[in-house]
Chain A
Amino acid sequence: MTASPDTPLLYVLTEDLQLRGPRFGCGLAQCGSCSVLADGVEIRSCITPVAAVAGKSLTTLEGLAAWYAENKKLAQAPALHPLQQAFLDEQPLHCGYCYNGMTIKGAELLANNPNPSEAEIRKAMNGHICRCGTYPRVAQGNTARLARRCRRDAMSELDASFSRRDLLKSGGAMIIGLSMTGALSARAAAFAAPGNVAGPPEPSAVDTWIAVHADNTATIFFGKCELAWRA
């Protein structure tokens, strides 16, 4: 592909390369939803002309796990960066629009400071706006938790499965999984036990699964969901 030197990096990433990690938010470098890493440093791709990143190594949300593995010198990259995994496990997000930037910036922070204090987290993340009000849970619960996790060398996918299943069993509730595509779909299929799966057998076929567990709880996975309530 080719692009004129002044094309915003975000346009090249989302339109030419069809990536879905970085997002157009304000277009003014004020909100952080378009963040990517350039040579490991978080930048706002919406106002960065492609010419400005010539020769630099770019990492988007899609490549964050591989970037993490490279930094940690792991033989094999985990399916997800530990911060992505922590966000999935803990579900601090609401609409998810800030998720890309929160994850990119959090990964940058943890790469430089594996055990940040709350003050360090607040300072580092201050350029990322969340309109849903998820700051406390992103900062306190998850970043502390993920900081602990990042000190481990490898993340096993089973961690996520156990966490969600434990939540299901203890709460007896129906959990609705969000955005299960690509590698996530394969994982979702893997932890819905054989015989319990009602739905497409091929992970890549349709993005929908329903697993009814032995204790009569159910897990439903689908690509998008809208939660609503009316009196």
Chain B
Amino acid sequence: MLEAAAHAAGWTARPSASHLSDAEIVTGRGIAVGTHHVSYGAAVAEVEVNRRTGEIVAKHLYGALDCGLAVNPSLVENQIVGMMVQATSRMLKEEVTFDQKGVTSTDWVSYPVLRFAEHPA
């Protein structure tokens, strides 16, 4: 799965921290593999970081999934895309907030999730 995700992303090996830049907006990439029940999945993320504002943008994600027999490949693709979007949302935006009385995340403003304009391609 790692190889499939790396292949999809056109990954080429390079030493860590060999792509440093002083520009305001810098780019980076990451790769990971994981399991859920009996499935293996892997993903490559290409991100932009604005070093001045701290804003992070997930530009492109590439996913690979060994799900077993794919009865409906289109639905499987939906799931791969969906989990990459949800993972981006969790990493960059989602956080339950509290005050001394309880949860203060009560709607889509106080609990922001990834929006349409922010989705990785």
Contacts and interface: CB of A to CB of B under 8 A. Distances in A.
B117 A173 contact: no
A125 B116 contact: yes
B107 interface: yes
A210 interface: no
Given A122-B117, A135-B116, A227-B75, 6 more contacts: A118-B121, A129-B113, A134-B82, A135-B119, A173-B71, A174-B71
Interface string B67-91: 0000111110111011111100100
Interface of B: 37-38, 71-75, 77-79, 81-86, 89, 107-109, 113-117, 119-121
Contacts of B121: 118, 136, 140
A139 B107 contact: no
Contacts of A130: 116
A91 B72 CA distance: 11
A175 interface: yes
Contact of B89 (A90, A126, A133, A176): A133
Interface string A169-180: 001011110000
Nearest to B108: A30
Contacts of A198: none
A196 to B, nearest CB: 21
B107 A122 contact: no
A118 to B, nearest CB: 8
A129 B108 contact: yes
* 6 nearest CB pairs, A to B: A133-B85, A133-B82, A135-B119, A122-B117, A30-B108, A126-B117
